[in-house]
Structure 1
Amino acid sequence: MAERRAAERIGLSEVARLARVSEATVSRVINRKSGVSTRTREAVERAMTALNVSRRTEGELVLVVVPELANDVFTRLAERIEAELSPFGLHIVLSLAVPGSARERIFVESTVGAGIVGAVFLSASNTMARADHTAQRMLTERRVPFVNVNGGAGGAAAPTYSTDDRRAAELAVDHLHALGHRRIAMLAGPAGNLLADRRADGFRAALRKHGLDGERPLLARQLFTVDGGRSGGADLIAGGATAIVAASDRMALGAASAASRRGLSVPRDLSVVGYDDSPFLDLTAPPLTTVRQPTETLGRHAAQALQLMISGRAAPGGEVLIDPELRIRGSTAACPAGGG
């Protein structure tokens, strides 16, 4: 970057000597890092002006790895992260990559070479039990800080902020149980996906809490798609489910479609709960009850932790679980007579 290269030609020591601060402080001002008082920053900027060091106009880049953008959760998270980082001169660049794929590794390697200063993994390889975690190891080796959202990566100590998926399943089951449902099923994501596995575990635990674990639970594992929801939903309805807890809103809409194909009505014959709180759910027929992921909080915490590390300060390691919220709409109702 122009300003950094100019400062290197002149020498940090000359700027520091003129501003009467340390070279480390000059570096922090040049890179727009936090932790410098307004008075000190102004002194360094005056010294840079006197020494003809041009002010940096371009921002530094943070890589954000996402599996897709069709799911509004990822766009909301990316937008929140950008909003939190941009005041610090940090801007995001998106990489679309299948979790744990060679594309993810190649993209991380190329952007590290281009000078990214940090990375965020949004439900990418950090969600897969058997993913290739070469990308995260590469960042660690090159001392590029990174943060995970919704699942940790390969035992890395990076800060991780996740929706409490077990709690999400519990909220849905509690709601349906209170409506009189006893044949409650779950339409979960693929086995080996950390988030799907957590939701399935939370579902089983909620059934046990309500004394509904006497029989084999009605549980289908499918892709997080409308087609996956339609296929898995058909199997669960055939198994006698009166209510379905889905692992995504798209799966929930697929389950509702499967019910319609059998001549059943939602919520009269089948109650359905989604997950994510996608846009326009108030406009579906009926409006979809769902569990909302706390995207604003997840994005804010992830960005703040990354900004700390980019600034050379420590951020809390390990995983922090953040509570989701049940949004009750029209797709859930009392269990039909004789259907509990």
Structure 2
Amino acid sequence: MGVSGQSATTRIGLAEIARLAEVSEATVSRVINRRPGVSTKTRATVERAMAELNMTRPTEGEMVLAIVPELSNDVFTRLAEQIEAELSPFGLHTLVCAALPGSSKERDFAAATVGVGIAGAIFLSASNTLSRGDHSAQQMLRDRRVPFVNVNGGAGGIPAATFSTNDWRAAELAIDHLTALGHRRIGMLAGPPGNLLADRRIEGFFAALRKHGLDDENALLERQLFTVDGGRRGGDLLIDRGATAIVAASDRMALGAVNAAFRRGMSVPGDLSVVGYDDSPMLDLTAPPLTTVRQPTERLAQHAAQALHVLISGNHVNEDEVLIDPELRIRSSTGGWAEKPRKRQKPQARP
């Protein structure tokens, strides 16, 4: 027996489900039509009642494609989990796929899932972070009238609701903290060229230096991959150029810079202060615990999931980019600095 539509048979179906689940018919209708206003526990009770009565509804349109650049990075895993939690009350579920930004996998995943009837898609720091990336997946979804939203960067001018961490503010928070500690030779480890988020953090870095009256003409800037090795290489270069503090564009890069200092016999934060970006869950356990700028993942997930649900429901959302401020988490990798000579060892050979 079906449960959708407005026929007399449907009304009987709704009444049976409501009686078994001990809820109102209006609640059953909200569950069936994936409307908000129903708790997760109540929704599960209604779903069980439907199963006991052998009543089904079409499954097409329940799945949301979530594309991330990788799953080994805690911040992307956390974002995907939080989006799933936000979508679940609407009866929607996420299918998480990892696709290296700039590869053809995004379009492949989008094409395959559109064929089975996804409800929508979310791009989480994927090709939407590239200024000149391949945005054919987003264009295909738009052409097929499948709603999608972006997290952390738009998609090459293709209109879509976008929710991003305010990366200009992220750089400013780090510089404000380090200058208050007395640092004046502050270096930045940024991501590779062509990455929209890296470019924004660099702009914020320069603006913050100027705000504090620091010379940005010979700014200590290195662009590397968002990896530990990239942070180690860039850290070595910045230390050689006299940086007393480093602002990194990811926690992995920051830990690489810490390692570069340790290999020279330097202490952190005694000889070098380091600030990361993301706030990975294990940072309290690093040695030293890493000061970092925390991405507002909960708010990003909430905004993105709610906007996508509105689109799936056939309503309009604003397609301007919404910037959400991060926060600074101060731990033990940053400390005060007074101008003083310091002895640096040459980098040790890597085994």
Query: TM tier, shorter chain?
Result: 0.7 to 0.9
| Aligned-partner Cα distance in 2 for 1:294–1:15 | 48
Specify the alignment match of 1:246 in structure 2: 248
Q: Deviations over 1:162-191 (max 9, x none)?
A: 000010001001100011100000000111
Contact 1:268 1:336 in 2 (8 A): no
CA positional deviation for 1:339: 6.0
What's 1:234 paired with? 236
CA gap 1:213/1:306 in 2 versus in 1, 3 angstroms: same
Identify the residue that residue 32 of structure 1 maps to in structure 2. 33
What secondary structure is seen at the aligned counterpart in 1 of 2:301? helix
| CA–CA distance in structure 1, aligned partners of residues 68 and 335 of structure 2 | 35
Aligned residue number for residue 22 of structure 1: none
Measured in 2, the distance between the counterparts of 1:322 and 1:76 equals: 17
> Could you tell me how far 1:87 is from its partner in structure 2?
1.2
Query: Hey, what's the Cα distance between the residues in 1 that align with 2:182 and 2:10?
Result: 75
Deviations 1:107-159 (A, max 9, x none): 11110111101000000010001111110011001110001000001112211
Q: Secondary structure at 1:211's aligned position in 2?
A: coil
Name the residue aligned to 2:289: 287
Q: Against the structure 1 CA distance between its residues 339 and 89, is the aligned structure 2 distance closer, same or farther, given a 3 Å change threshold? A: farther
Deviation at 1:336, TM superposition (A): 4.2
Q: Which deviates further from its counterpart, 211-220 or 148-157?
A: 211-220
Separation in 2, partners of 1:288, 1:114? 44
Residue-pair matches, total = 314
Cα RMSD over matched residues? Answer: 2.6
The answer on whether the counterparts of 1:226 and 1:250 sit within 8 Å (CA) in structure 2 is yes
Displacement of 1:30: 8.4
What amino acid does structure 1 have at the position aligned with 2:133?
A: A
Q: How does 1:1-340 map to 2 (within 5 A)?
A: 12=5, 14=7, 32-34=33-35, 54-56=55-57, 58=59, 60-213=62-215, 215-338=217-340
Query: 1:156 is matched by which residue type in structure 2?
Result: I
Between the aligned partners of 1:65 and 1:214, the Cα distance in structure 2 is 37
Shift of 1:15: 5.7
Aligned twin of 2:21: none
- Change beyond 3 A, Cα 1:69–1:16: same
Letter in 2 for 1:162: S
Alpha-carbon distance in 1 for matches of 2:319, 2:109: 25
Counterpart AA for 2:234: G
Contact 1:242/1:339, CA 8 A, preserved across alignment: no
What is the alpha-carbon distance in structure 2 between the residues aligned to residue 161 and residue 30 of structure 1? 27
**Aligned AA (1:132):** D
Q: What SS does the corresponding residue of 1:77 show, helix, strand or coil?
A: helix
Q: Which moved more, 1:55-64 or 1:283-292?
A: 55-64
Q: In the superposition, relative to structure 1, how do residues 36 and 17 fare at CA in structure 2: closer, same or farther (>3 Å)?
A: farther
2:231–2:257 contact (8 Å) kept in structure 1: yes
**1:214/1:168 Cα in 2 relative to 1: closer, same or farther (>3 Å)?**
closer
Q: Secondary structure at the match of 1:335?
A: coil
- 2:33 maps to amino acid: R
Give the deviation of 1:338 after TM superposition: 2.4
SS of equivalent to 1:227: helix
Letter aligned with residue 77 of structure 2: T
For structure 2, the 5+ residue unaligned runs are 13-25, 39-45, 343-351
Distance 1:272 1:235 in 2: 14
How far off is 1:313 after superposition?
A: 1.4
- The 3-state SS of whatever aligns with 1:83 is helix
State the alpha-carbon separation in 2 of the partners of residues 30 and 282 from structure 1.
41
| Worse-matched range after superposition: 229-238 or 98-107 | 98-107
Matched AA of 1:161: F
TM-aligned CA distance change 1:213 to 1:157, over 3 Å: same
Report if the CA contact (8 A) 1:65-1:96 is conserved: yes
Aligned equivalents of 1:316, 1:15: Cα separation in 2: 39
3-state SS, counterpart of residue 84 of structure 1: helix
Relative to the length of structure 1, the TM-score reads: 0.86
CA distance in 2: counterparts of 1:252 and 1:29, whole angstroms: 47
Q: Indicate the SS of the match to 1:114.
A: coil
- Cα 1:107–1:234, aligned 2, differ >3 Å: closer, same or farther? same
Whichever residue aligns with residue 104 of structure 1, its letter is E
